[in-house]
Amino acid sequence: MGKILVTAASGYLGRKTLQHLLKRRPASDLIGLARDPQKAADLAAQGIEIRKGDYFDYDSLLNAFADVEKLMLISCAPFTDRNTQHYNAITAARQAGVKHVAYTAIIRREGSNFNLSECTAPDIFAEQTLKASGLTYTIVRQPAFLETFQFQFGDKVYEKGLRVPAGDSKQAPASREDIAEAQAVVLTEEGHDNKTYSLTGEPAVSYAEIAQILSDARGVPVPLIPVTDEEYMANYAAEGLPEPYAAFALEWVHAANLGEWGDLTGDLERLIGHKPLTTAEYLRHNYPTPVPSIEAAKGQ
């Protein structure tokens, strides 16, 4: 088998995907792509080759993708020119002779017209570009990461209550660890050619259920307090989060309240072969996390 390259190797998801790949393939078969290879020095120390590349630098991608059979294309962060970056990566992969590209997208409910700014339209563009490229593809759609889940409701619910716009629908977040394991499976096992997966966690939870989970975790009441969109945005502004990121968080909450993230597919459990980490299990032991909200918004 040929080499496997994972982009965004210095990011959360890319790094974890490579760590799971190490359990399945020798380090000599694995490559990580990073704009700054020094930020992936820990992976290099484990024998993984780290190549320098930037989605905006087409030639760097051509060089990085040489001798690669399978590519895990971690989608770039919002608030950048995502279309150009993804087009460059897919086109360079085809020109370099890559055979199979897996792409990470935000989950979308079938038939929905909901548009998550900075994500939905660029994801559709990338998926269409990939399918039209002639490359074998796998689309790996992802929910909110449990590790960044508090970005939706802040890190002070024990002091202020869980303050989000009203709604009672559910969403099904999953951990980066489980998603990375699923991606490693897609890259190393047969049967995933030209398929689309939605890696939802289980069970789905509403904000009311999240408030109850947090209440049970410490034995103190955590009220769910409906707020207006303006109040929600103002809370983020008070914590120093730039307006575009606050607006992004608000859109995600609206989508959750509309049920956009709540469909359960079972894809994640089938791929990894075990029950994914649940919201309750994660929040009981990891809320609040020390990761600043702005970094949670940016990070893959």
- Both 27 and 114 in one domain: the answer is yes
CATH code at 50? 3.40.50.720
71, 126 Cβ separation under 8 angstroms: no
Q: How many helices (H) and strands (E) does the chain have?
A: 13, 9
User: In which band, very low, low, confident or very high, does the pLDDT at 1 lie, cut at 50, 70 and 90?
Assistant: low
User: In which band, very low, low, confident or very high, does the pLDDT at 291 lie, cut at 50, 70 and 90?
Assistant: low
Q: What is the dihedral of CA 122, 144, 21, 130, to 10 degrees?
A: -20
Q: Is the peptide bond before 203 cis (omega within 30 degrees of 0)?
A: yes
pLDDT of residue 298: 42
- Both 134 and 207 in one domain: the answer is no
What does the DSSP 8-state code read for residue 57? B
Q: Is the pLDDT of residue 132 over 60?
A: yes
- Domain assignment present for 281: yes
- Both 14 and 130 in one domain: the answer is yes
- Domain assignment present for 45: yes
**Separation CA 141–CA 107 (nearest Å):** 5
pLDDT of residue 300: 53
Query: What total of structural domains would you count in the chain?
Result: 2
- Domain assignment present for 61: yes
- Domain assignment present for 92: yes
Q: Is the pLDDT of residue 294 over 50?
A: no
Query: pLDDT, tens digit, for every residue of 206-235?
Result: 999 999 999 999 999 999 999 999 999 998
- Both 101 and 166 in one domain: the answer is no
144, 261 Cβ separation under 8 angstroms: yes
From 123, 142, 161, give the residue that closes a domain.
Answer: 142
pLDDT of residue 242: 87
pLDDT of residue 296: 45
SS (HEC) of 8-34: CCCCHHHHHHHHHHCCCCCHHHEEEEE
User: In which band, very low, low, confident or very high, does the pLDDT at 86 lie, cut at 50, 70 and 90?
Assistant: very high
Burial class (CB in 10 A: 0-12, 13-18, 19+), 285: exposed
pLDDT of residue 238: 85
- Both 37 and 162 in one domain: the answer is no
What does the DSSP 8-state code read for residue 168? -
- Domain assignment present for 169: yes
What is the model's pTM? 0.94
**Separation CA 264–CA 202 (nearest Å):** 7
Range of the domain at 132: 3-142
